[in-house]
Amino acid sequence: MASGGIARGRLAEERKSWRKNHPHGFVAKPETLPDGTVNLMVWQCVIPGKKGTDWEDGYFPLTLQFDDNYPTTSPSCKFPVGFFHVNVYDSGVVCLSILGDGWKPSITVKQVLVGIQELLDDPNPNSAAQHRCYELYKKNMPEYKKRVREQARRYPSRV
């Protein structure tokens, strides 16, 4: 197959599978270019905050960027710049094991998004990407939780 053909084929299959069955509240769709064509290499997603957590009622935008080596390589996953989370860099890039050393080609878009949702309320302080967030998480949990709830309110449902 031509460069990127394998990646596009896999992403087309994932898109079909997602349309048939995806977790409630999640959104994942390839971006539409100005000319109306679909770019399978960039997906605009929304991850809902889990019920019963400080993230509840937030619908967090996330961009998945795939390269021609997908699924051999993981997608880049990015929240908006300045997203408040222990495992998200200031640039918005998500730091999660399944996107790094733990990546396997069998991991699907659905598994990536569900894994990131899990990470929201269950951060890994041993792999902190944001110092000020980590400090609050370790030393001032009430303030950390307050900031999370404020962020959830900044990303209400668009439905």
Write the pLDDT tens digit of every residue in 97-133: 999 999 999 999 999 999 999 999 999 999 999 999 9
| CB 88, CB 21: distance < 8 Å | no
| Biggest CA-to-CA distance, the chain | 53
Q: What are phi and psi of 118, to 5 degrees?
A: -60, -45
* Closest by CA position to 52, among listed 138, 123, 149: 149
Whether the predicted pLDDT of 6 surpasses 80: yes
* Domain residue spans of the chain: 5-154
pLDDT at 2: 53
Whether the predicted pLDDT of 4 surpasses 80: no
Q: What are phi and psi of 29, to 5 degrees?
A: -145, 140
pLDDT at 159: 61
Residues with catalytic function: 95
Q: Summarize the confidence of residues 59-77 as an average pLDDT.
A: 97
Cα-based distances in Å from 128 to 14, 27, 138: 30, 27, 11
CATH class in words for 5-154:
alpha beta
pLDDT at 1: 46
pLDDT band at 43; cut points 50, 70, 90: very high
The model carries a pTM of 0.94
Q: Please report which helix (H) or strand (E) contains residue 94, including its range.
A: none
Q: Summarize the confidence of residues 141-149 as an average pLDDT.
A: 97
Q: Is 140 helix (H, G, I), strand (E, B) or coil?
A: coil
